[in-house]
Structure 1
Amino acid sequence: MKKSLLALAALSVFAGVAHAQSSVTLYGIIDEDVNITTNSGGKHLYNLSSGAMQGTRWGVRGTEDLGGGLKAIFVLENGFDPTTGKLGQGGLEFGRQAYVGLSSQFGTVTLGRQYDSVVDYVGPLEAGDQWGGYISAHPGDVDNFNNSYRTNNTVKYTSANYGGLTLGGTYSFGGVAGNFSQNQIWSLGAGYTNGPLVLGVGYLNARTPSSPNGLFGNGTTATGTLPVTTPVYAGFQSANTYQVIGTGGAYTFGAATIGATYSNIKFMDLGSNGASAFQRGDTATFNNAEINFRYQLTPALLLGTAFDYTKGSEVAEANGKSNAGAKYYQFSAGADYFLSKRTDLYLIGVYQKASGTDSTNHSAVAAITNLAPSANDRQFTARVGIRLKF
C-alpha cells in the first residue's frame, strides 16, 4: 500500500510538471468605431464599422515544452466584425492566422496560414500599424504593409535574436499539379533593434496573384471571389507577378518617435493572367514614401501624424497610348487615450487627394484603404472608436 501511494504521488508530481511546462492562452481584441466619410461614391456616409485601429479578433495560442530547449507551438486566430457578428477575411473561420510548428534556440519553423516578411519586418514601422489603423495605410494597401493579404500553404522560418538582429523568410506552395510556380509566394526580411533605433527590410514575390488560390484570389476569402476593388491597382490584376521591396526605420528620442518607410511595388508581365487594358508584358510600378511622427504627450495620451506619397509609373495602353500613372497624397492624424492598460479611446482622421490616370484607365479618384472610392479626387474620413484587449 505504501509503495502504491508513493508511486501515485510521484506520478502526480510529474503530471504537475508537465502541465506547468505547457500553456494555452485565449486572447483577443474588440475594436468598434463611429465613422464619417465625406465622399463615398459621391455621397456623405455615416456608419459603424470595426477594426479602424486594429482588426477585431479572438485567438488561441499554445506551447508545449518538449525538453532540451525545444517547444511545440500553435496559433489559431479568428477575425470577425462586432458590428454585424459576421466572420472577417471573407468568411474564413481562422482567417487571420492558423499555424503549428517548432521553436528552439536556433529559431522557429511554422506551417500554415501566416504573415509574410514584409508584414513582419516593415509593416510595424508605418503609421497604419501603429496609431492610424487601416484607413491610414498606403492607398489600397498597395504594398501590403497593413497585411491586407495573408499567405496560405506557408512554411515560415524566424531566426533567434542575435544582438538585436532577427531574420526570416516564407515559402508558400502553389499547390497546382504540373505547374510549380503558379500561386507560389515567397518572402525574405530582416529587422534590427538597438535602443531607440528600429530598422526593417522586406521582400515579397507572388506569382499569378489574382488566380484562384493566389495572393489576391480565394486564398484570402471563403467564396473564391477576387477581393481587389480599389482603383489604385484593380486594373493590374492580370499581372503574372506581384513584387514588393520595402524598408523603414524609426528613432525615439524622449517622448517622441520619428519614422519613415519606402516601398517599390511592381505588377509585372501584365496580360499573362487574364485580359488587360495595357500592352501585354508591360510592368506597372508604384513608389511609395511615408514619414510619420508620434508623441507620448502623457502616459495615457498618444498623438500621431503622417504624410504619405504614392506615385504610379507610366504604362503603355493596348492602343499604343501612354497612361500617365496616378499620384496619391495622403495626410493622417490621430489621438489615442488609454483608460487602462487594456482599454483605450481613439480619434483618427485621414485626407487623400489623387491626380493622374489610375489602373482602370480613368481619371484617378481618391481611394482611402478599405473605403468605397470617392466620386472625385478628394476624400476625407474620421473615426472615433473604442478598443478593448483581453
Structure 2
Amino acid sequence: MVEHSTRQPGPDNRILTATSALDTPFLAVDEQVLDANIARMSAFAAASGLRLRPHAKTHKSLILGQRQLDSGATGLTVATIAESETFAAQGFSDLFIAYPLWLTENKAARLRAVMARARVLLAVDSVAGAQQLASLLPGSSVLVEVDSGHHRTGVVPELAGEVGAAAVGAGLQVLGAFTFPGHSYRPGGGPGDAAGQESRALFVAGESLRSRQITPVICSGGSTPSAGATDSTVLTEIRPGVYVFNDAQQVELGVATMADVALTAVGTVVHSSDARAVVDVGSKILGADQPAWISGGGRLPDEPEARITALSEHHATIDFPGGSRHPAVGERVRIAPNHVCTAVNLADTLVVVGADDVVTHWPVDARGANT
C-alpha cells in the first residue's frame, strides 16, 4: 500500500505568499510535495519488486520525466507519437506508447525517427492493427493490450494469444501484455476492485500467450488509484501518472490526502457576496472534467468545506457553507483541479515554488502533443 502524508494544509499558505507578485490565474507546484510524491511511488514499486514506468501525459515535462528516472523509474509511458518525439529528442531512451496505433506512412516515418533515438515499445489489440504495424515497422516490439474492465481498448484476455500469434506471424516481437484499469476511478471499492480485475486479466492473458509459445516478459498495468493494490505476483510493472501531482479526484477517492496535492491553480476573488465568491479560474485553467460522483468543479485545499458549484471558461463560482471562512474581493485562493492531466495540458508553464520559496518556471514541453 502506498502511504500518504498526514500533514494538513492551512489558509496561511506559503505558495500564495511566494507567488504574490504574479498575475493570476496560473498553475503552481509545491516542489517539496512533488518530490515526496515521486519518492513515495518509487519506494513502493521497489519494495514490491515492480518496475515503474510512469505516464508522462500527466506532466508533459522533461524536467519531471528526468526526476522520475533519477528516482528509479525504468522508462516513461507516453500517450502519442508526438509525446514520444518530445522526450526522445531530449535523450529519453526507453518509451512505451500505451495505446494501439493505426499507422499511416507518415506516422510510421515519425516513429522510425524516434526509434533511431530511443527504444520504443508499441501496443496492439487486434490482428488487423498488428498486421498494419508490421507492414510499416517490421520487427517492432509490442505488448498486447487486454481489457480488464475499463471497456475502452484491448481484447478480452483469453484472446491475447490469438492477437500475439498474429503479431509474431507478421514479424513483430511480442514481449507480453498490458492493461489500463481506468475503472479504478470510482468511489467506494473501485481502486481495489480494479486492481483485482487487472491481476486476473493479465494472468489469463499471460496463459493465453504461453499457449501460443509466447513468453510474457512484461505484464504491465497500474493507474494511480489502483497502484497501491497491485498484485506483484502477476504484474511486472506499473504505469501511474497522476501521482506526481495528485488532484481532487485522488483525494475524493481516498488514495491521496489534500497534503499530497502538489499542483493547484492560483486565482483571485473578483466578486464576493453572502456565502459565495467568484474567482478568475475557469475551465480554461482547471479543465472541464467533472465526473458525476465528485463534489464540484475542483477542491480548495485551504477551505475544505467550500464547493465549486459552477465553472465557466474563465471563472469559478465557489459556495462557502455556514461557518466557513469567506474570502474577500482581491484575496487569492488555491484550487486543486479535478483532473490534473487536462489542467497541465492547458498551461504553457508551471510556476514552481521550491523549498526555499524561490519561484521558477518549468515549461510544459509536450503541451498539445496530441498526434
TM-score tier (shorter): under 0.3
In our comparison, the structure showing a higher alpha carbon Rg is 1
- Please state which structure has a larger fraction of its residues in helix: 2
- Structure 1 length-normalised TM: 0.27
- Structure 2 length-normalised TM: 0.28
Q: Which has the higher contact order (CA 8 A, sep 6+)?
A: 2
- Please state which structure has a larger fraction of its residues in strand: 1
